[in-house]
Amino acid sequence: MSMRRRDLLTGTALVLVGDRLAGAEALTARIPWQPDAGTPPTPVKPGPWEFFTNPEAAAVEALVDRIIPPDPQTPGGKGAGCAVFIDRQLAGGYGHNEGHYNLPPFEHGKEQQGPQSADGPADTYRAALAALDRYCRSQSGADRGKAFAELAAARQDEILHGIESGSIKLEGVDGQSWFNLLIKDTQQGFFADPIYGGNRDMCAWKMIGFPGARYDYRDWVGRHNERYPYPPVSIAGRPQWTPGRS
């Protein structure tokens, strides 16, 4: 497992978050489109955790900050809001496998077949975080009785490497599968539109030069290998914009 941001970015070309699409209205004698007639996602608002307990949230914030560590230029996973993103996703349809086939039989198949379990992501996280806490608190020596979030960064990395490789087993949980799920969700939280709670202040987009949800690129269609000079734009716009100004 690599904890370096550069390696994480090279493995993530594009993250598409938001699985609800507005239905298309049949064309009639009138134009079917009206301003504000779509169904945009509801922006995540600051507030208490919706799925995680406070101890679980502390563990997840520590986990995402080791997967994407901060540096002088860009916040890490915690500062970017990845834990908030995961919390809101688990509290919603994603956490409960909304839209997926959820009936047995469940048989362990190939990786390409996806998860084969009655448990959705919400149940998986709850069980894995509890198992991680039991493992960490059972250690001897200076780390005895400490939760994951209380451990030194180097020790946290050792535990994550162990879970990824399978050398550390989490009681009652497929630790490797959960770790892969955590990596994916952290990546999505880091690169998704800020409307979903992660990528705070569009920090990840600024880092890689991604323009975001700008509406018009016609002037740039033929300008290859040239850095786009304008700041990124969220689905919700830019906080700096005010009425009457672009």
pLDDT of residue 241: 59
Phi, then psi, of 233 in degrees rounded to 5: -130, 135
Q: Of 62-71, 102-111, 170-179, 228-237, where does mean pLDDT reach its minimum?
A: 102-111
pLDDT in tens, 98-138: 877 777 777 777 777 777 677 889 999 999 999 999 999 99
Residues 159-187, mean pLDDT to the nearest whole number = 96
Between these two residues, 4 and 166, which has the higher pLDDT value? 166
Q: Give the Cβ contact number of residue 151 at 10 Å.
A: 18
Distances (CA, A) of 34 to 39, 213, 216, 235: 12, 20, 19, 18
pLDDT in the model for residue 7: 53
Q: What is the pLDDT of residue 2?
A: 44
Cβ neighbors of 75 (< 8 A, separation 6 or more) are 200, 203
Long-range contacts of 211-217 (CB under 8 A, 24+ apart): none
| Integer Cα distance of 40 and 115 in angstroms | 29
- In whole angstroms, what is the distance from residue 92 CA to residue 98 CA? 8
Contact call for residues 87 and 99 (beta carbons, < 8 A): no
Rounded to whole angstroms, the Cα distance separating 186 from 4 reads 13
Mean pLDDT confidence for 84-103: 89
Whether residue 59 contacts residue 163, with contact meaning beta carbons closer than 8 Å, is answered with: no
Does 15 have pLDDT greater than 50?
no
HEC profile of 212-225: ECCCCCHHHCCCCC
Task: Give the pLDDT confidence score for residue 216 in this predicted structure.
Answer: 81
> What pLDDT was estimated at residue 207?
93
Percentage of the chain with pLDDT > 90?
54
pLDDT of residue 147 exceeding 70: yes
State the average pLDDT over residues 212-239: 85
Domains of the chain, by residue range, sit at 1-11+42-97+118-206
pLDDT band at 226 (very low <50, low <70, confident <90, very high): confident
Rounded to whole angstroms, the Cα distance separating 43 from 224 reads 34
pLDDT digits (tens, 9 = 90+) for 22-51: 343 444 445 566 666 666 678 888 899 999
Apex CA 31: angle with CA 26 and CA 35, to 5°?
105
Closest by alpha carbon to 185, among 84, 71, 50? 84
**Residue 230 pLDDT:** 86
